[in-house]
Amino acid sequence: MYSEESLKQFIQDNLGDRKFIVVSNRQPYEHQLNQGKVVCKRGAGGIITALDPVMQASHGTWIAVGNGTADKKICDAAGRIQVPEDNPKYTLRRVWLNKSENKGYYYGYSNEALWPLCHKTFERPSFEEDDWESYKQVNAKFADAVLDEVGDEEAFVWIQDYHLCLLPHLLRERMNKDQLIIAHFWHIPWPSYETFRICPQKKEILQGLLANDLLGFHINYHCNNFLENVEREVEARINRENLTVISDSHTTKIQAFPISVDYAGINHISQTKTVENEVKAWKNNYNLDNQKIIVGAERIDYTKGLPERFLAIERLLDEHPELIGRFSFLQLGQITRIHIPKYKRLNDELNDLMERINWKYSTDDWQPILFIRQHLSFQRLVALFKLGDVLVVSSLHDGMNLVAKEFISAHSDESGVLVLSKFTGAARELTEALHFNPYDLQEFAGKLYNGILMSDKEKKIRMIKLREKVMEQNIYAWANEMISELMECAYLS
């Protein structure tokens, strides 16, 4: 099994003198002012879950946007700080954006154009020219930061996600040919040609991504979609046998790398006294003794199927009134991108649904839905997963979904049931979960019912198999495979 130590040794043995640089929009740690004191918080989201342990093993540099209220206060003049705070293992280099850049690049082009374009959730993308200009400007800022970190040395640069499509090409234009080996991992789905062709900037995006040496997706389906888009939009030579594209005299390898989590780390944390105490705190604070616990945990986003989830809880109680008072559904969800109208509408819709369903079914001392909008420490989140008898993941479209794998890793007691949308990348790996179509409320409610009533014996059989898969294909195996491909790119260059 791959581990932090084996990955660290692999990088030391193979990286040579090259620097190791990860680039993403979201930062792994942010610093906030709280009652006059600076508090460090671990960032939320799949990229942080996946890459923080990899960076701790590599001792490299992570470049990301600094957006915490105290971020500038504790950095050096170049925006650098050593993280994690309690045991520093790598450098975080922050890029500073002004309000206009953040609005156009992040809220605008990234999340009102590219995000809905790549997710089949019937949300219309909005392509504003001003947002595109901000997107280009911020990608150029990231290029400046990378070039400053690399200097005259050689480096592996590993770019993350849809916020930085143009960065590879910008780096190629400004660096010596052999100085950089560039990889890019795309964390969300890649759309079919019929969908992607509506994007006014499609050629620039494809050309930007084809400046990478290695471009990774979660599953082969997304690789094939990308190749079809290249074939129809860009002058290039495609070899479908070895999944390479030659464009503008540069070769890009396209490959699927199903992302994962730090199984061993989460498994260990789940068995600590801290988590044990947090489990008790959850039960005491929300009066959860003698109940089955259904858990949902993600940020508030229209791709996650949250209204469908609330409606499935309602359907479950409509059809099985004997369950009234016998379970509680805890939905953890941080509000994000609230400046975008569709996110505000979603938050309002969820509030209305919760109030209606709770009014319909609540008793003097019980209500079915508990909606918790707060940032949790990682230990408290693991405790929530361990507490859960059932985890529900109802994404309408999802590249992978690491919450499902975190839940599995946290169940060191080999209990728990995963109720998983068919439309996640994780569903292709986690075949022992209860799969369902989130658009089919009858099927959805039925799977929740099956999960609540499943026998302890069947739970254990399923969970043991799920844990074996996540243990073997953990985050270090994912990183090892992708970095191995990067090394191959370096060798071929």
- The answer on pLDDT for 68 being more than 70 is yes
- The answer on pLDDT for 486 being more than 90 is no
Mean pLDDT on 474-489: 89
- How many whole angstroms separate alpha carbon 366 and alpha carbon 143? 54
Query: Which DSSP string corresponds to 11-68?
Result: HHHH-TT-EEEEE-SS-SEEEEEETTEEEEEEPPSHHHHHHHHHHHHHT-EEEEE--S
Exposed/middle/buried for 181, CB within 10 Å: 0-12, 13-18, 19+?
Answer: buried
For 273-292, how does the pLDDT look when each residue is reduced to its tens digit (9 = 90+)?
999 999 999 999 999 988 99
pLDDT-based confidence at 15, cuts 50/70/90? confident
Rg, C-alpha atoms of the chain: 23
Mean pLDDT on 204-212: 98
- pLDDT reported for residue 271: 97
Phi, psi of 327 (to 5 degrees): -145, 160
Q: At what angle do helices 306-319 and 341-361 cross, to 10 degrees?
A: 10
Q: Give me the CATH topology for the region 263-472.
A: Rossmann fold (3.40.50)
- How many whole angstroms separate alpha carbon 447 and alpha carbon 453? 10
Domain 4-260+475-492 is of which CATH architecture?
Answer: 3-Layer(aba) Sandwich (3.40)
- pLDDT reported for residue 8: 82
- How many whole angstroms separate alpha carbon 415 and alpha carbon 464? 9
Q: At what angle do helices 167-174 and 129-150 cross, to 10 degrees?
A: 50
For 400-416, how does the pLDDT look when each residue is reduced to its tens digit (9 = 90+)?
999 999 999 999 999 99
Mean pLDDT of the chain: 94
- The pTM (predicted TM-score) of the whole model is 0.94
- For the chain, residues classed under CATH 3.40.50.2000 are 4-260+475-492, 263-472
For 141-196, how does the pLDDT look when each residue is reduced to its tens digit (9 = 90+)?
999 999 999 999 999 999 999 999 999 999 999 988 789 999 999 999 999 999 99
- pLDDT reported for residue 488: 82
Contact 191, 457 (CB under 8 A): no
Mean pLDDT on 236-254: 94
Copy the structure tokens of residue 47.
């990229």
- pLDDT reported for residue 492: 57
For 300-351, how does the pLDDT look when each residue is reduced to its tens digit (9 = 90+)?
999 999 999 999 999 999 999 999 999 999 999 877 777 788 888 999 999 9
- The answer on pLDDT for 491 being more than 70 is no
- pLDDT reported for residue 487: 82
- The answer on pLDDT for 490 being more than 70 is no
- The answer on pLDDT for 84 being more than 80 is yes
- How many whole angstroms separate alpha carbon 491 and alpha carbon 493? 6
- The answer on pLDDT for 10 being more than 90 is no
